[in-house]
Amino acid sequence: MEYFDIDDPKIKRRIIVENGLAFAFPTNIPIVPGHTLICPRRRVSRIDGLTDEELNAVFELQKRLRGAMIKVFGAEGFNYAWNEGKIAGQNVDHLHLHMLPRKRFDTGIVDYEPRKFLYRPGDRSSSPEQELAEVAMSIRKGL
């Protein structure tokens, strides 16, 4: 098992909070002030590579950071994201949760439209209920 080196001086001095299985630090290329990465200590590239305990540790830090970011940055909302696989924008082969405190007049994506954000341009009408039922059935069969 490979673990992230939190003793790396570049990371160590930026660590905000940690627990036994995860740690958080501000990214060096923030979208907004306070843009933080929450990482499991063990190196995995996909979320399904985490144990339940590791996943809970990541989300425990997210909950702890949320209140602080509201106080410090006046956050009125948050964006959370992680990428899995190169095709989805994963540039670092170590899963990490991006946490961005957001407030009015921020830069970046503020008029959030999921289809635009996920690279699906153009309008699309709602899918017919039958089509949605078939998709749900297909996925259930895959479980």
- Note the pTM of the prediction, 2 decimals: 0.76
Write the DSSP string, 90-101: --SSS--EEEEE
Catalytic residue flag (residue 94): no
Catalytic residue among 35, 94, 96, 98: 96
Structural domains of the chain, ranges and CATH numbers in brackets: 9-142 (3.30.428.10)
Q: Which helix (H) or strand (E) holds 140?
A: helix 129-142
pLDDT digits (tens, 9 = 90+) for 102-118: 988 776 655 555 555 55
Structure tokens given for 39: 């990482």
> What's the pLDDT tens digit per position in 61-95?
999 999 999 999 999 999 898 988 887 777 887 89
